[in-house]
Structure 1
Amino acid sequence: MPTTTQLVISGQSKPGVLADVASVLGESGVNIKAFSAPEVTGTGKLRLLVADLDGARAALKAAKIKFTEETALILSLENKPGALKEVADLLTKSRINIKCGYCTPSREGKRAIVVLTVSNTDKALAILRTQSLDEF
């Protein structure tokens, strides 16, 4: 189960923020693989997974768009009812908080790709790796 670096852009929740970021990255040839932009009032966080992390960093810095980085887990779960519950239950039992999560079906639809940021990445990886379940 891999981890990845997720870019986090915090700022005012207003029209055009996602368009600006997408434009900067697109013009730099950086593909956005996944993003989360939950509905918020006031200040929000846009989280991005990109195909070219170094290219994204350079493009955002050049455009003066401030960002931070965080480690995220990438899980490939069987696309069936209850698969996410098993992961969430394991993390809960280990007192690991899920700070952010989003998912998308894989191209063939048989798997679901789940992105999670958690309070203790190393502990979460160790717990999830010890499971013999097909979903992980």
Structure 2
Amino acid sequence: MPVASQIVITGQSKPGVLAQVVSVLAGAKVNIKAFSAPEVTGKGNLRLLVSDVDQARAALRAAKVKFREETALVLSLENKPGALSDVADLLKKARINIKCGYCTPSREGSRAIVVLTVSNTSKALGLLRGQSLDEF
């Protein structure tokens, strides 16, 4: 189960924000592996998992796009009812808060890629090791 550095861009929800960010990344030849862009009262957090974090950092800085990074767990779960429930229940029992989560389908379709940011990454990693999780 890999741990990834996730790019987070916070700002006003308005036309062109996503277009600007993805254009900057495309120009730097950085592939977006997964993203989430929820809106909360006119503001949003765009979270991106990218193929090359170093290249993304450099491109975003050059374009003067403000961002931060956060650690995210990237889980490959069996694509079946209850798979995410098992993970969420394990984290709940350990009193680990899931702060953010989103998913993307895997290439083969039999797996679901789930991205989670949690309150205690190292504790979550310890708990989830040994579970039937594959790499993204």
Identify the residue that residue 18 of structure 1 maps to in structure 2. 18
Identify the residue that residue 5 of structure 2 maps to in structure 1. 5
TM-score by length of 2: 0.94
Shift of 1:135: 4.7
Identify the residue that residue 89 of structure 2 maps to in structure 1. 89
Q: Identity over the aligned pairs, expressed in percent?
A: 76
Q: Which runs of 4+ in 1 moved over 6 A?
A: none
Give the direction of change, closer, same or farther, for the CA distance of 1:77–1:22 in structure 2 (3 Å limit). same
Question: 1:92-103 counterparts in 2 under 5 A?
Answer: 92-103=92-103
RMSD of the TM alignment (CA)? 1.1
Q: What's the CA shift string for 1:13-50, capped at 9, x where partnerless? A: 11111000001111111111110001332221000011
Q: How many residues align?
A: 134
Distance 1:13 1:69 in 2: 20
Distance 1:73 1:110 in 2: 19
Matched, 1:119 2:94: no
Shift of 1:120: 0.3
Identify the residue that residue 68 of structure 1 maps to in structure 2. 68
